[in-house]
Amino acid sequence: MDYEKDQDISDSGTHEIQSSEPPRYEHYQMHRNSGRMEQKSPVKPSRKNKPGKKIAGTIALAVVFGVTASAVFQCSNTVAEKYFKKEESVQLFSDSEEQTSQTTAPAGEASGGTGSVSEVAGSAMPEVVAITSVSVQEIPSFFGIYGFSPYGTVEQFSSESSGSGIIVGENEDELLIATNNHVVEGATTLSVCFIGNDVSNAEEETRDLASGDINVKDAVSAKIKGTDKGNDLAVVAVQKSDIPKDTRSEIKVAKIGNSDGLQVGEQVVAIGNALGYGQSVTSGWVSALDRSISSEDGTTTTGLIQTDAAINPGNSGGALLNMKGELIGINSAKYAADAVEGMGYAIPISTAQPILEKLMNRQTRDKLESSESGYLGISGGDLTTEAVQMFGVPAGAFVREVNEGDAAERAGLQRGDVIMEMDGQPVTGSDDLAEKLSYYAAGETVEMVIARAVNGEYVEQTMKVTLDARPPSGY
């Protein structure tokens, strides 16, 4: 099945809300205290009779015990370190945690208390990056319909768009960046530029990278680590080894604030890659809280922060900060109309944090060629908003048909099921499912959460599917 992408390429990666209809949401380390418990050996009261002999015996036994215990514990630690790898999850730094990263620079002045806009900007700009994506768009060919085009009825074009991101964590090998899903959705190539004068060259450098030029001076290649389309969130990863040493000393991980305590009228600062020109700073106020807006496909996003700080195309995925320089939101959308001024929206960090932490701890994958990616063997589709509301169908990819003998049927998937999650990632529709499958190779086994109608109610089930090799068409 072909998937139609409704992303507007000209908007440089920012959602925009049109005025002719109701507001619409468009496309435009864990610190571990390792304490040691002290054990005091019980002291035996010495008898007055033959004290020297008893004491000597006790000392000798203590020495033997101490040597033996030390050897046993040392051996245990050595075996554990060698054969059992300790797994630590990556978490976002909260305002009560101290950043101890050796990769990133220390916090700025504004981190210690309320500061001016310039102090907040100076502190937070090293946390914000410019993201440039290259995607392939399929456009119907007028001449191809009549047989006059050598490319057939559909031609492919490469397009570039700009957005922003925030450094929210790191692991042993990667620097992890949060952004909006719509900034990276469908991207075949991603690049990141950190703070500095090179940001404005990100788009040009990414085009060079996409055309095969690997001598990219300013941009650092990035990969998608995980996405959540329903919440418009994503995490991309950059290899630390790819970041120049001088840049490492200038950048830092964002300090996370608490958006739950926000009040209308608080001053905020927005930083992002506006119009793809590089980092820019705007300031405003929290205009409203818990706002809801609707996307082009009818999906409603709730609980957003509304601000009059200017959020322009390219700002998507950028930082919304309080006057302590703490991250309180991820800029995502704006209301655009001739008669409207200053209506921008951000995803509260308290909403985004658990989602981002889950995405940050996923395995980083490369997007595969269609001939290499796995195949499920279904015919899928999306239900209308009315049908979902009327019949209580959960969000996900609706299974219209299951191909006989293919991966889906072998796993037990049935017609009418709804695929809600794949490998721990929410699935919002058939396009989203196809996009996620493009990162998994044939032969891999993935876990899926599906909803199945049982006696008039949808019941969730978990199944494992071993993907087939992909035929010339289908998914």
Q: What are phi and psi of 461, to 5 degrees?
A: -135, 150
The b-or-e profile of 259-288 (16+ CB within 10 A means b, else e) is beebeeeebbbbbbbbebbbbbbbbbebbe
Q: Which two tokens stand for residue 244?
A: 């120049």
Q: DSSP character for 241? A: G
For 46-99, the DSSP string reads PPSSSHHHHHHHHHHHHHHHHHHHHHHHHHHHHHHHHH-PPP----PPBTTS--
Cα–Cα distance between 31 and 96 in angstroms, integer?
A: 11
Q: Which two tokens stand for residue 286?
A: 């929290």
Is there a catalytic annotation at residue 292? no
Strand partners, 464: 447
- Could you say which of 133, 316, 373, 430 is catalytic? 316
Cα–Cα distance between 441 and 433 in angstroms, integer?
A: 14
Q: What length does the chain have?
A: 475
Cα–Cα distance between 32 and 2 in angstroms, integer?
A: 49
Which of 226, 296, 427, 468 lies closest to 417, judged by CA?
427
Cβ atoms of 312 and 331 closer than 8 Å = no
Cα–Cα distance between 156 and 381 in angstroms, integer?
A: 23
Is there a catalytic annotation at residue 27? no
Which of 122, 179, 172, 166 lies closest to 254, judged by CA?
166
Cβ contacts of 193 within 8 Å, gap of 6 or more: 129, 130, 132, 199, 201, 202, 205, 218, 219, 220
Is there a catalytic annotation at residue 46? no
- At CB < 8 A and 24+ separation, what contacts does 138-146 make? 138/2
Which of 305, 311, 323 lies closest to 259, judged by CA?
305
**Where do runs of H (alpha helix) occur along 84-188?**
117-124, 142-145, 181-184
- Could you say which of 8, 135, 182, 332 is catalytic? 182
Cβ contacts of 474 within 8 Å, gap of 6 or more: 1, 375, 377, 379, 403
Cα–Cα distance between 138 and 2 in angstroms, integer?
A: 10
Q: Label the pairing between strands 15-17 and 327-335.
A: parallel
CA 307 to each of CA 113, 288, 445: distance values in angstroms, whole numbers, following the listed order: 22, 7, 44
- Could you say which of 8, 218, 232, 382 is catalytic? 232
Strand partners, 307: 286, 344
Cα–Cα distance between 14 and 163 in angstroms, integer?
A: 7
Annotated catalytic sites, by residue?
A: 182, 232, 316
